[in-house]
Chains A and B, each alone.
Chain A
Amino acid sequence: SYVLTQPPSVSVAPGQTARITCGGNNIGSKSVHWYQQKPGQAPVLVVYDDSDRPSGIPERFSGSNSGNTATLTISRVEAGDEADYYCQVWDSSSYVFGTGTKVTVL
């Protein structure tokens, strides 16, 4: 089965840029989607199809995907961005989620 690997944690100072990677075999050939989950809340879609943003998601959230790595970039990080982030692909007619990354704002 397809495996998506994320770093367990990323720390970033307010105003700086956070980059969260999602590794998978030839992931660049797939569409990657990203979710934000704050404590006690349901996940929220923040990026779909590698780099598109749903309405209401700030432009500070962007995505890229190439080779064996997809990346979610959060620019000008704010305290409210502190959350768990999950990447996801569709593979063999099922959803595959990454292992999750906890973003801590220092």
Chain B
Amino acid sequence: EVQLVESGGGVVRPGGSLRLSCAASGFTFDDYGMDWVRQAPEKGLEWVSGINWNGGSTGYADSVKGRLTISRDNAKNSLYLQMNSLRAEDTALYHCAREFCSGGSCYIEYWGQGTLVTVSS
């Protein structure tokens, strides 16, 4: 059974930093690209960042570029999101996600339950 378990969320002041982690199990981690998708309270889904199977290629939404950094450790079956210079608009539930890409299209096969990040003074 595929399991994605996020941790590291919390309350942080504007301008502060957090590091999110995602522990993956139930599949061969380094066979898949991974993503972070967030959902602000009572709002829709927003893709944040993605990374390919070996960490050699990453992508970011314009809203987080230069402030958030995605990485992975295949030896530990773990995905990370380093969050710096946080803003109030970064407040959201952050989901770890396993993607599947084929024929020029990608979608999210599995989602974690998420970890809540609150940016507030």
- Residues of chain A touching chain B, judged by Cβ–Cβ distance below 8 Å, are 1, 30-31, 33, 35, 37, 41-45, 48-49, 54, 86, 88-90, 93-100
Q: Determine chain B's interface SS by DSSP, over half rule.
A: strand
- Residues of chain B touching chain A, judged by Cβ–Cβ distance below 8 Å, are 35, 37, 44-47, 50, 59, 61-62, 95, 100-101, 103-109, 111-114
A44 to B110, CA, bound (A): 7
A86 to B108, CA, bound (A): 12
Find out whether the CB atom of B59 lies under 8 angstroms from the CB atom of A45.
no
Beyond the given A30-B105, A90-B105, A97-B45, please list 4 additional residue pairs across the A-B interface where CB-CB is below 8 A: A33-B107, A48-B107, A49-B107, A95-B106
B58 CB to nearest A CB, Å: 10
**Which of the listed residues B50, B59, B103, B107 has the most CB atoms from chain A within 10 Å of its own CB?**
B107
Chain B residue nearest to A44 in the complex (CB):
B111
Q: With A93-B59, A95-B37 as given contacts, are A42 and B111 in contact (CB-CB < 8 Å)? A: yes
Chain A residue nearest to B111 in the complex (CB):
A42
Contacts of B50 in A (CB 8 A): 94-95
Shortest 8 CB-CB distances between A and B: which pairs?
A95-B47, A31-B105, A42-B111, A33-B107, A97-B45, A100-B44, A90-B106, A90-B105
Chain A residue nearest to B95 in the complex (CB):
A42
Contacts of B111 in A (CB 8 A): 42-44
Chain B residue nearest to A43 in the complex (CB):
B111
Find out whether the CB atom of A89 lies under 8 angstroms from the CB atom of B59.
no
Find out whether the CB atom of A88 lies under 8 angstroms from the CB atom of B61.
no
A30 to B107, CA, bound (A): 12
Say which residue of A45, A90, A98 sits within 8 Å of B104 (CB atoms): A90
Contacts of A99 in B (CB 8 A): 44
Q: With A42-B113, A42-B114 as given contacts, are A95 and B35 in contact (CB-CB < 8 Å)? A: yes
Contacts of B107 in A (CB 8 A): 31, 33, 45, 48-49, 88, 90
Find out whether the CB atom of A49 lies under 8 angstroms from the CB atom of B105.
yes
A18 to B26, CA, bound (A): 34
Contacts of B114 in A (CB 8 A): 42
A81 to B59, CA, bound (A): 33
